[in-house]
Structure 1
Amino acid sequence: MREGWKEVTIGDLGQVVTGKTPSTKEKKYFDGKYQFISPKDLGDDSRYINNTLTTITELAIEKFKNQVLPKNSIFFTSLSYGFGKMGIAKDICLTNQQIHSIVANPEVSDFNFVYYLLRYNTSLIRSHDAGIVTPIVPKSIFCKIKINLPPLNTQRKIASILSAYDDLIENNLKRIKLLEEQAQLTYEEWFVRFKFPGHETTKFDEETGLPEGWEKVKLNQIADFQNGYAFYTKGYSENGYTIIDLGNVSEYGDLNITGKEKFISEELYNELPKFHLNKYDIVIAMTDVTSALRILAKSAIIDKDNTYALNQRVGMLRPNTELFDYAFLYALLSDPRFIGRMKAMSKGAVQFYFNTKDIVNYETFLPSKDVIENFTKIYKPILELRMKLKDQNQHLKEARDILLPRLMSGMIDVDKLDVGSLTYEVNDSLGMVAEENKIYSK
């Protein structure tokens, strides 16, 4: 342990608060201006929580004043499927009972540092699991877990370095959100309101209600569909080709590589060529285990060739016409009308799903060639920039995650660093981040 560092318990960092859920029978407690945080609102890599599925009122804040959390409290999910999911409070809020929160004592700990400290020690915390089936670390045990704590000034320097990466990631996420809104507005303007260039002089077919030259089609007439394979029946490998499953399709319509993927061997991959995924193939989540249906019918674009294999419960679509490429197909699959239709057709009680028949028989329309070409000229650059920003974020996360254990263990001495002079700029090629990745991988 470095000089000045000391062994403390999590309870020494500040006040530890376990949340509580207001009775859903009491409507007066819900639909207010305050956030109610549950594991469903936290991601594997979330920091500040901007939106929650549930909000609560001033009455709930008064009723549960002993569980109310101030701004900058740190959340740690210590129970259930979401074990280890974390976040930081943006304002006054309440959490459910699956979350332990730390209100950092500013004389002992920096709240930003505590966030990264818990993230670094997630495996240690989980090793104190007292559950039999469901993972759980009770508050009494959570508070007594021992960790190494540097002096406050060192804490702030470490947090500042790691926050620089997360600040860039969050800035990119804001840009991505704006691009998504721009893309969706463009699609709606052209294909919902039919306000595409030249619409003023376009004639509409009285029978179909579509512009002349457009036709009604089923999805399987314009795209090939492939269901995934149950690779678990063949066994996984320690490395090899990455299996794309439900966890890799985000609720935002992105490919989400988490670092927790399973792999199959080259031999098995070569035995099953129809489950290979090519760059620009589109995968779609056909099952969702959450009642909120956050990923059901959401799509993602494959970013590499010769890397991935398609798992069960995920479908793949590939354009089978020369009239358009992946960009128009992705726009069609991102249309809220398509997503809403698939959700409406979903079956099941615990697991919600739609089947192959539901998707291939989905009725849509095929615009004229010139309209598709003009739309693609506008939409595709938006999509490509969005994908580039996602790729940048992936590199930033990798660089940050390499630094995290080295900073938290004291391997890298930050005491002599002028953190204020450290800048992390991302250019189009991500040269700096890529270079840092090489350096810290050594």
Structure 2
Amino acid sequence: MTNWKEYKVEEFAEVIGGGTPSTKNSDYFGGSIPWLTPRDLTNYEKRYITNGERNITNEGLRNSSAKLIPKHSILLTSRAPIGYLAIASNEVTTNQGFKSLVVNPDIANYKFVFYLVKANIERIKSFGTGTTFAEISASVVKNLKFNLPDLPTQTAIAEILSSLDDKIELNNKINQQLENLAQTLFKQWFIDFEFPNENGEPYKSSGGEMIDSELGEIPKGWEVKKLGALVKKSNTGADAIKRAPIVNEDTGIRCVRVGDMTNKRPFDEWGFCKITPQDYKRYKLEINDIVVTRTATLGINTIIRNEIKGVYNNGLIRLKIDENKIIPLLAYCFLQSDAYKIWIERISGDSSTRPNMQINYLLDFPMYQCPMTIQTKFINQASLIFENLENNILENKELIQLRDTLLPKLISGELEVSELLAQNA
């Protein structure tokens, strides 16, 4: 480890807090100045951020302790909770829940500092104090000590880690586009009814025969069916405390919970559970099963596309689709539609307490059953989209694992940049 030197944060960055204009004065909000709160970084997966939910005005800036923070500053939440992290893409302001680092470019590379802080988040959290919620002060942040190499080495480390994050973020962007494409394709076939007819022409606009239904006009030969009529079996999962408790040791069987669904965690991030052979057989997830959240955030769903050793707890509903009536992947597409989201919002809006969805409500969702020939043609196109999605997810998993392995080693100097470059030469 050569050319490394210990610095206090205040020696390579200015630490800036934030503030909140009075919410009683409407003239302080709705302007053009981005204003961020820790909430804006909740589940935020990108490195760079441009703005939050709200903007403030110049008057709001002048009449509060909020300060303009320059582009490429490191935004670190200092309470509620400690440790959310992002890089400002442009000038921003924050509330008092941040201690932002304005990096001195003569001493430090801002990307390197981002990764330096990221690698030391748990250490930073340990300095938090407070009874209601933990918080770190500006004084604590200023006096944190880190070893930094010379600027060329910082830049080289930052570029190695950034190249991995660039690819991860590109895959995420492509996946968002693929999801939009899948929704567009579904809408074209099953909302606008412009699936190709026997001559390859759009069905409805080419004069395809339509018939009346309870949901409006639909193509001849189609029927409106409740989801329940297309499902062979539906049930809630294993009791989360008595039958499938999450445990620390590797039992070989994972259990999906509501939090896994809301945070879109992949299978290998579900917790391990302790479950009897009998219950495992009863609650085992199989290919083409659809699982749906029934508590907290309702209606989030996914389809099991690969063989896994996993079960689901009683915060979810498992649907076994009758493949003689509808192809499971098409049923899953219906459960991503706007009509489904509106259906779910009804029950969410009906309760002022924590919502809880009964199976029958889910099974009453109305959808279309069309001839199997049309279903098959749609799935032949949609499957390509979903396969690309899955491939990008798998690639990101490997990239994240590589990045997270390299991060502490590069940031600490354990792995010299020259060694890594030589290995990849």
User: Is the shorter-chain TM-score for this pair beyond 0.5, marking a shared fold?
Assistant: yes
Any idea what SS the aligned residue of 2:101 has? strand
Q: Show the counterpart of 2:74.
A: 74
Q: Show the counterpart of 1:188.
A: 187
Give yes or no for the alignment of 1:401 onto 2:404: yes
Q: Show the counterpart of 1:378.
A: 381
CA contact (8 A) 2:290 2:320 kept: yes
CA contact (8 A) 2:291 2:319 kept: yes
Q: Show the counterpart of 1:256.
A: 265
Q: Show the counterpart of 1:432.
A: none
**Deviation by residue 1:197-241 (Cα, 9 ceiling, x = unmatched):** 232343222344322221121112223433233434445232222
Q: Show the counterpart of 2:219.
A: 211
Give yes or no for the alignment of 1:301 onto 2:312: no
Any idea what SS the aligned residue of 2:196 has? coil
Quick one: structure 1 residues 19 and 65, their matched pair in 2 at CA, closer, same or farther if it must change by over 3 Å? closer
Q: Show the counterpart of 1:440.
A: none
Of 273, 285, 288, the residue aligned with 2:293 is: 285
Any idea what SS the aligned residue of 1:283 has? strand
CA contact (8 A) 1:32 1:55 kept: yes
Any idea what SS the aligned residue of 2:417 has? coil
Distance in 1 (CA, whole Å) between partners of 2:92 and 2:223 is 51
Deviation at 1:398, TM superposition (A): 0.9
**Deviation by residue 1:384-431 (Cα, 9 ceiling, x = unmatched):** 111211111111111111111111221111156669x979xxxxxxxx
CA contact (8 A) 1:76 1:84 kept: yes
Give yes or no for the alignment of 1:391 onto 2:394: yes
Distance in 2 (CA, whole Å) between partners of 1:132 and 1:271 is 42
Of 238, 243, 247, the residue aligned with 1:236 is: 247
> Larger radius of gyration, structure 1 or 2?
2
Distance in 2 (CA, whole Å) between partners of 1:105 and 1:350 is 49
TM-score scaled by length of structure 2: 0.86
Quick one: structure 1 residues 8 and 305, their matched pair in 2 at CA, closer, same or farther if it must change by over 3 Å? same
Alignment of 1:41-52 (within 5 A): 41-42=40-41, 43=43, 45-49=45-49, 52=52
Quick one: structure 1 residues 302 and 369, their matched pair in 2 at CA, closer, same or farther if it must change by over 3 Å? closer
Distance in 2 (CA, whole Å) between partners of 1:350 and 1:396 is 41
Deviation at 1:349, TM superposition (A): 4.2
**One-letter amino acid of the counterpart of residue 245, structure 1:** R
Distance in 2 (CA, whole Å) between partners of 1:16 and 1:313 is 43
Distance in 2 (CA, whole Å) between partners of 1:220 and 1:307 is 26
**One-letter amino acid of the counterpart of residue 367, structure 1:** C
Distance in 1 (CA, whole Å) between partners of 2:277 and 2:116 is 39
Q: Which of 372-381 and 165-174 deviates more?
A: 372-381
Q: Show the counterpart of 1:433.
A: none
Any idea what SS the aligned residue of 1:277 has? coil
Distance in 2 (CA, whole Å) between partners of 1:314 and 1:178 is 28
**Deviation by residue 1:77-121 (Cα, 9 ceiling, x = unmatched):** 2322x4422211111222232222211111221111111111110
Q: Show the counterpart of 2:146.
A: 147
Alignment of 1:30-109 (within 5 A): 30-42=29-41, 43=43, 45-49=45-49, 52-61=52-61, 63-64=63-64, 66-80=66-80, 82-109=81-108
Q: Show the counterpart of 1:429.
A: none
CA contact (8 A) 2:35 2:51 kept: no
The alignment of Structure 1 onto Structure 2 pairs a total of residues equal to: 410
Q: Show the counterpart of 2:118.
A: 119
CA contact (8 A) 1:275 1:310 kept: yes
CA contact (8 A) 2:226 2:367 kept: yes
Unaligned runs of 5+ in 2: 198-202
CA contact (8 A) 1:9 1:145 kept: yes
**One-letter amino acid of the counterpart of residue 257, structure 2:** D
**One-letter amino acid of the counterpart of residue 98, structure 2:** I
Quick one: structure 1 residues 257 and 19, their matched pair in 2 at CA, closer, same or farther if it must change by over 3 Å? farther
Deviation at 1:259, TM superposition (A): 7.3
Q: Which of 220-229 and 49-58 deviates more?
A: 49-58
Any idea what SS the aligned residue of 2:47 has? coil
CA contact (8 A) 2:238 2:279 kept: no
Deviation at 1:124, TM superposition (A): 0.3
Quick one: structure 1 residues 164 and 64, their matched pair in 2 at CA, closer, same or farther if it must change by over 3 Å? farther
CA contact (8 A) 2:66 2:93 kept: no
Q: Show the counterpart of 2:208.
A: 202
Distance in 1 (CA, whole Å) between partners of 2:59 and 2:356 is 38
Q: Which of 57-66 and 357-366 deviates more?
A: 57-66
Deviation at 1:65, TM superposition (A): 7.5
**Deviation by residue 1:18-51 (Cα, 9 ceiling, x = unmatched):** 2323333333344444433233332364311256
Q: Show the counterpart of 1:427.
A: none
**What's the C-alpha RMSD, in Å, of the aligned pairs?**
2.8
Deviation at 1:180, TM superposition (A): 1.4
CA contact (8 A) 1:327 1:383 kept: no
Distance in 2 (CA, whole Å) between partners of 1:201 and 1:108 is 70
Give yes or no for the alignment of 1:175 onto 2:174: yes
Of 313, 333, 336, the residue aligned with 1:334 is: 336
Distance in 2 (CA, whole Å) between partners of 1:367 and 1:248 is 33
Distance in 2 (CA, whole Å) between partners of 1:100 and 1:271 is 49
Quick one: structure 1 residues 229 and 73, their matched pair in 2 at CA, closer, same or farther if it must change by over 3 Å? farther
Deviation at 1:269, TM superposition (A): 6.1
TM-score scaled by length of structure 1: 0.83
Q: Show the counterpart of 2:200.
A: none
Distance in 1 (CA, whole Å) between partners of 2:51 and 2:277 is 40
Distance in 2 (CA, whole Å) between partners of 1:372 and 1:180 is 19
Q: Percent identity?
A: 27
CA contact (8 A) 2:34 2:51 kept: yes
Deviation at 1:311, TM superposition (A): 2.9
Distance in 1 (CA, whole Å) between partners of 2:40 and 2:268 is 20
Distance in 1 (CA, whole Å) between partners of 2:58 and 2:294 is 39
**Deviation by residue 1:303-323 (Cα, 9 ceiling, x = unmatched):** 542332213423333322324
